[in-house]
Amino acid sequence: MSLVLLAGCGKKDADPAEGMSGAQSESVLADAKDGDDAPGIHVVLQVTEPEEYVFEIGDEGCSAGQAKLYLSNMADSYQSVYGQSIMSRTSEGVSFGQKLKDSALSRLVAVKTMALFAAERGAQLDENEEQLVANAANAYLGRNSSSVRQSQGITDEDVVASYRELALADKVYQQILEETEPEISDDEARIVTVSQILIKTYRIDQSGSRQPYSEQEKRDAYQKALAVLSRLNQGDDFDQVAATANEGDRITVSFGKDEREEAISEAAFALGTDEISRVVETADGYLIMKCIQSFDREQTDKRKVQIAKMRKEETFSRMYEDFASQLTRSLNEEEWNRISADSAAATPGDDNANFFTIYQEYFGKE
C-alpha cells in the first residue's frame, strides 16, 4: 500500500466527503491533528505476515487500539457534520469508510515518524508537558464511554501513547523552526506599490469561460495600450486615465518579487517612485504601471516574516524527508483489514469528546 505523507508546508486537498478524490495540510503536525494528508514523502508500506501490530515503522509499532482511536475520532468528526450515512457514501466504487481508513493510516504513520524523529534528535517532553499528556488522556477517558472504548479495543495505554506522540511531534517541529534562522535581505523581501492600467487580451464568454483574443484583437489592444502610454508620457494624470482606461479589477496593488509574473516583477522593481513603465505583455493583457512606493518598510518587514517562515518549513521538510526515507515500514494487512470504519465509529447518539479537539484544548494548537 502506498501512502503520501505530508512534510513541511502543503496544501489541503478535497474533503473526503466531497468527491472522495483523496485525503491530503501545513506540516506533518497539522496533518496529524487536522486529519488530511498532503504531498510530501512517498511511503510504501510492505505487507508482512500477521503480527502484534497493525503496522511497524522503524522500531515503533501501532496497535489496533491506536488505529481504532484515530479512525473512530476521525469518523465522528465527519458524522457530526454529514450524519451517520456518510460512512456508506461511495465515489468511483470506493466507500467513504475506506478513504477514511487510508487517511487515518497516513496520519498515524506521519505521527509515529515524527515521534521517532524527535527521539533521533534527543527531543523529550519535560515534566509540564508530560503532565499535559496525562491531563489530556484523563479528560478523554473521562468524557468518553468506557463501554464503547472497550468494544472498540481501545485501551487507556493507547490514549496516553497517542497523546504523547502528538506532543513529541509538536515539540520537534517547533524546535527545528526555532533553530532555523534564515537571513532575508531587504531586497529579497521588498514590497512595491504600483498603480496599474490593464488592457485585456481575453474575454469571458456566456458560459463563464475565458477566451483569448484573436491575433488582430491582440494587435488592436496593444495599440490601445500604446495610446494610453502616450497620454501618460505627455503628462496626463495616471489615476484619471486609469479610471476610464483600466480594464482590470484593481488599480493600486502591492506585491513582492515572486508574487507576480516575471515580466511584471522585472518592470515594477526597476521603477523608482513616480516612474512609469513601458507596456508590459502579460498573461492577462498589456499592463502599464506607475510606481507609487518603491520600498514599503512596513510591508517589507511583514514579508520578511513570511519568507522566514517558509524557509524554516522548507528546512524542516528536508530534514524530515531525509530521516523518514531511512526508516523501514511494514503493514500487517490481515490485522488492518479486520478494522472497519463502521465498527470503529462511535455508537450513534454518543456524546463523546473528540480526541484531537481535547489535544488542542490542552496543548493550545490550532
Q: What is the pLDDT of residues 71-82, one digit of tens each?
A: 989 988 888 888
Do the Cβ atoms of 87 and 79 come closer than 8 Å? yes
- Mean pLDDT over residues 293-298, rounded? 88
Q: Residue 225 — pLDDT band, cuts 50, 70, 90?
A: very high
Q: Residue 343 — pLDDT band, cuts 50, 70, 90?
A: low
CATH 3.30.70.20 fits 192-294, yes or no: no
Q: Which residues, in sequence order, are bridge partners of residue 197?
A: 288
Q: Residue 12 — pLDDT band, cuts 50, 70, 90?
A: very low
How many CB atoms within 10 Å of residue 81? 10
Asked if pLDDT for residue 25 goes beyond 90, the answer is no
Q: Residue 47 — pLDDT band, cuts 50, 70, 90?
A: very low
Asked if pLDDT for residue 22 goes beyond 50, the answer is no
- Mean pLDDT over residues 239-250, rounded? 95
Residue pointed to by grid coordinates 504600483? 194
State the pLDDT at residue 86.
84
State the pLDDT at residue 153.
83
Domain-by-domain residue ranges, the chain?
Answer: 2-181+309-363, 192-294
pLDDT tens for each residue of 198-219: 999 999 999 999 999 999 999 9
- Mean pLDDT over residues 8-19, rounded? 38
Q: Residue 351 — pLDDT band, cuts 50, 70, 90?
A: low
Predicted model pTM = 0.67
Cα angle 176, 298, 286; round to 5: 100
How many CB atoms within 10 Å of residue 257? 17
Distance set, CA 224 to CA 35, 141, 228, 231, 234 (Å): 52, 71, 6, 11, 16
Q: What is the rounded distance in angstroms from the CA atom of residue 279 to the CA atom of residue 250? A: 17
Q: What is the rounded distance in angstroms from the CA atom of residue 332 to the CA atom of residue 51? A: 6
Asked if pLDDT for residue 352 goes beyond 50, the answer is yes
Q: What is the DSSP string of 27-91?
A: SHHHHHHHS---SEEEEE-EE-S--SSSEEETTEEE-HHHHHHHHHHHHHHHHHHH-GGGGG-EE
Q: Residue 40 — pLDDT band, cuts 50, 70, 90?
A: very low
Asked if pLDDT for residue 275 goes beyond 60, the answer is yes
Q: What is the rounded distance in angstroms from the CA atom of residue 227 to the CA atom of residue 353? A: 66
Cα angle 102, 104, 108; round to 5: 120
Provide the percentage of residues in the chain whose pLDDT is more than 70: 83
